[in-house]
Structure 1
Amino acid sequence: MERSIESINERIGKGEAVVLTAQEVCELTDRGEDIEKVDVVTAATRAIMSGTYAILSFPVDAPCSFLRAKEVYMNGVPAHTGPCPNERLGILDLMLFGTDHSLDDHHYGAGHLFRDLVAGNPVDVKVVTDGDVTFTTQVTLGDMPYAMMYGTRHAFKNYSAFVNTSDDTISSIFHAMDFGPRLSEATISGCGQINPVKNDPMLQSIGIGTRILMNGSEGFILGSGTRSAKEKPNLTAFADMHDMDPEYMGGFFTSAGPECIVSWAVPVAVTDPSVVDAIKERDRQIKMSVMAVDKRACVGYSTYGDVWEDVDLEVTFAPDECINCALCEPQENCPMAAISFEEDKVKLDRYACFNCGLCTTLCVGDVFTGKMGSIKFELGDYSADVPIVLRQSDKKRALELSEKLKERILDGSFRLTQMVEQIQP
């Protein structure tokens, strides 16, 4: 195979390159068609990604109005001041962790804050100075000359399914409700065959300096992420928040508090035979560990075929089927607050909906429906078959992102970059 990033970029410029999404390649493979002429595969994922933080810098007051900020809150979410103490200039440099929670609203976290900023919504800022003077102001993303999002542990090659093997319910970041006991339900994370690192597991194409889209904004990969391992690699990257799309990011409420949603789209240049072999793998061939949240230990293995084959990627919504329950469980427990009522008529905000599917398992009528699949694995002498009740990855929008990246590569608005250095998987 004699391809390079330079030669592929030349072919793109001439309109000769073959660029396909990971899903399209898998469909070609199923039909037995040749994929040897594919130059670039666009892969994507959208999921809960705890290892997320943002660095923001913006003015809040006139120069010399205060020496240093002791505490800062944005919509109630605590921010960490520094690393450059520019407050005598009236400018704050802040770091916000994606898992930080608002002190005012336990359903609101930094993921919600990041989406609000990118959507152009004004954000309340509370500053407590080192002189114990408190003042408030409002800012928007447009007021911030610098706003970068970083991922320290993103885009796992494959993640896990989660179950509870104990006799008690458990609060967990892996469920929007208390986790049901005794293998009564499962949750999952990972987009399977379209995940970026799944399509380049040896990291021959993806490396330090690879240009990507994070939440729709161009950014770059910095290296491997925290807790990355050869069997389960992940990546770290950054991108400018000013160019992000709020639809692909946000907050997701769990029974252990709010988490952060992030989306990636990555071009995988087919420059090595290992990439060709990897992109052919279907969901049913991709091993997925089954983790017990009560033990935080692996109790078995399944495949992503259980998660993404013969299921509905989008929730079906039929508002006329509503039977007007005294308490609407889907509304009460929706991790995206996407369900509401207007004049006693149920509404679903598709823009906010994550397609997690929890509503389909809670609705006693037929308002919210969809096939969610189940996790099948061996647990000792027992063959488990546990229904999936919640998905913490949104494959529908990940597919959309891979298609958008493909279009941008073909129209020349996104250009592939040569890695600076290879990442050791």
Structure 2
Amino acid sequence: MRSLAEINDKISRKHAVVLTVEELKARVVEVGITQTAKEVDVVTTGTFEPMESSGAIINLGHTDPPIKIRRCWLDGVPAYSGFGAVDLYLGATQAAEAADGEESRLSVSEPKTQIVKGGGHVIADLIAGKTVQLRAVGQVTDCYPRANFETTISRETINQFYLFNPRNLYQNFIVGVNGGDRPLFTYLGPLQPRLGNAVYSNPGAISPLFNDPDLQLIGIGTRIFLGGGVGYIAWEGTQHFPLQKRLPNQTPIGPAATLALIGDAKQMNPQWVRGCYFKSYGPSLMLGVGVPLPVLTEAVVANCAVQDRDLVAPIVDFSIPRRVRPTFGLVSYAQLKSGRMAIDGKSVRVAPLASIALSRQVARELKQWIEAGTFTLTEPVAPIPQERSFLPQDRWTEF
């Protein structure tokens, strides 16, 4: 129907017709796939959810005399320093340490509520323009004679500061429940015993990769909305599993494709990058990501027309401490979003981990960028692999 070059030309002239994925779904119901495909040039998708496999690359710049950093803390959070002399990688889930090596606390809202500060909070603080305390220990060499260094840094006083996230944008995920007899504290948040609640993380039909099930519209080099700035798809994500079983509409029935993302954190907006903490589990990072999908053919619209009732996720029992846990079958996202579902005849309350409202807002903001002519689309330089298996670690030694 149209090429990416034609779409970009319309964007540059501010003539492109852009709909959020929810607007497109509504338009398809109104006029059908064929007519919608004729009318629309770009569809915007979005999500705002915890993405713990995230982190930041930071280059501090050299001190005088120079230091070869081998241990480093940012506001008490350890950063990895085992590569360049003043290069750091700060993981979103790394917890802060106090002087005695124990975890330090971000705040205490109640006597029994302890919140651990982590890498996600430090990343969010830097993006927000705040100062961060740095403490470094060096390996003394002839070219790097300095043994230690302390200072404060901000995003304005460091050279490079960019997010490089090994695994974001899961193409579907799981629903967590707890069939045991005690509360469990998980990466989905607290799960109450005896099926007291259920939590799901993917925002469903508005989620980016559900609307491009075969990853035909994106690839390495695709420009995206990342944390309120411009980012790119850098590679397949860790635990990328495109061979997941799929429904006839080609959407996966559980965790499937993932993406590695990269973007300049100095250009990001603190509204879309927020540190968070999961009780008795640890710190993480809430991140807004939006992906534009060019309407090149009618098939693009047909894929984007998928509804929550057409998508399912597995209900997984976290009370069994194994890699492969028992499930209570599949549930549709329409049922999940109703707030309740039935498990073995019991009505269970359900809540999303992703913010549905902010996911919609990501898609709307990306739409505004494209309509304003400030964000054009990119041709991928290589596709995301579609034949990747998932390899577990079954050989282990107990210490």
TM-score over 0.5 (shorter chain)? yes
SS of 2:301 mapped into structure 1: helix
Please tell me the residue identity of whatever aligns with 2:197. Answer: E
Please tell me the residue identity of whatever aligns with 1:174. Answer: L
Partner residue, 1:40? 42
Q: Deviations over 1:25-84 (max 9, x none)?
A: 1222343554222211000111111111211001373233x4x22310001110011421
SS of 2:37 mapped into structure 1: coil
Please tell me the residue identity of whatever aligns with 1:69. Answer: I
Partner residue, 1:363? none
Structure 1: how far apart are the matches of 2:64 and 2:83?
A: 20
Please tell me the residue identity of whatever aligns with 1:40. Answer: V
In the TM superposition, residue 194 of structure 1 has moved relative to its aligned partner by 1.1
TM-score, normalising length: structure 1 = 0.77
Structure 1: how far apart are the matches of 2:385 and 2:3?
A: 19
SS of 1:150 mapped into structure 2: strand
Match status 1:375 vs 2:376: no
Match status 1:301 vs 2:330: yes
Number of residues of Structure 1 aligned to a counterpart in Structure 2? 346
SS of 1:288 mapped into structure 2: strand
Structure 1: how far apart are the matches of 2:41 and 2:88?
A: 41
**Relative to structure 1, is the Cα distance of residues 63 and 293 closer, same or farther in structure 2, using a 3 angstrom cutoff?**
same
Structure 2: how far apart are the matches of 1:383 and 1:209?
A: 47
- How do 1:13-412 and structure 2 match up within 5 A? 13-33=12-32, 34-37=35-38, 38-59=40-61, 61-64=63-66, 66=67, 68-85=68-85, 92-103=86-97, 104-105=104-105, 106-130=115-139, 134-175=148-189, 177=190, 179-230=191-242, 231=244, 232-255=256-279, 256-295=281-320, 297=325, 298-308=327-337, 373-377=339-343, 382-388=344-350, 390-412=351-373
Q: Tell which deviates more after alignment, 126-135 or 16-25.
A: 126-135
Partner residue, 1:414? 375
SS of 1:206 mapped into structure 2: coil
Q: Residues 21 and 43 of structure 2 are in contact (CA less than 8 Å); yes or no, is this contact kept in structure 1? A: yes
Please tell me the residue identity of whatever aligns with 1:171. Answer: F
TM-score, normalising length: structure 2 = 0.82
Structure 2: how far apart are the matches of 1:108 and 1:302?
A: 35
Structure 1: how far apart are the matches of 2:23 and 2:336?
A: 19
Please tell me the residue identity of whatever aligns with 2:119. Answer: A
Q: Which has the higher contact order (CA 8 A, sep 6+)?
A: 2
Q: Residues 283 and 305 of structure 1 are in contact (CA less than 8 Å); yes or no, is this contact kept in structure 2? A: yes
Q: Residues 134 and 153 of structure 2 are in contact (CA less than 8 Å); yes or no, is this contact kept in structure 1? A: yes
Q: Residues 176 and 198 of structure 2 are in contact (CA less than 8 Å); yes or no, is this contact kept in structure 1? A: yes
Please tell me the residue identity of whatever aligns with 1:50. Answer: E
Gaps of 5+ in 2: 98-103, 106-114, 141-145, 245-255, 387-399
Q: Deviations over 1:264-306 (max 9, x none)?
A: 1111012244422211111121111212222352332111112
Identity %: 29
Q: Residues 204 and 275 of structure 1 are in contact (CA less than 8 Å); yes or no, is this contact kept in structure 2? A: no
Q: Residues 302 and 376 of structure 1 are in contact (CA less than 8 Å); yes or no, is this contact kept in structure 2? A: no
Structure 2: how far apart are the matches of 1:413 and 1:16?
A: 13
SS of 2:156 mapped into structure 1: helix
Partner residue, 1:324? none
Q: Residues 204 and 272 of structure 1 are in contact (CA less than 8 Å); yes or no, is this contact kept in structure 2? A: no
SS of 1:142 mapped into structure 2: coil
Gaps of 5+ in 1: 86-91, 310-372
Structure 2: how far apart are the matches of 1:6 and 1:277?
A: 22
Q: Residues 169 and 258 of structure 2 are in contact (CA less than 8 Å); yes or no, is this contact kept in structure 1? A: yes
Q: Residues 14 and 371 of structure 2 are in contact (CA less than 8 Å); yes or no, is this contact kept in structure 1? A: yes
Partner residue, 1:320? none
Structure 1: how far apart are the matches of 2:131 and 2:120?
A: 15
SS of 1:6 mapped into structure 2: helix
Please tell me the residue identity of whatever aligns with 2:257. Answer: P
Q: Residues 21 and 41 of structure 1 are in contact (CA less than 8 Å); yes or no, is this contact kept in structure 2? A: yes
Structure 1: how far apart are the matches of 2:328 and 2:74?
A: 41
In the TM superposition, residue 119 of structure 1 has moved relative to its aligned partner by 0.4
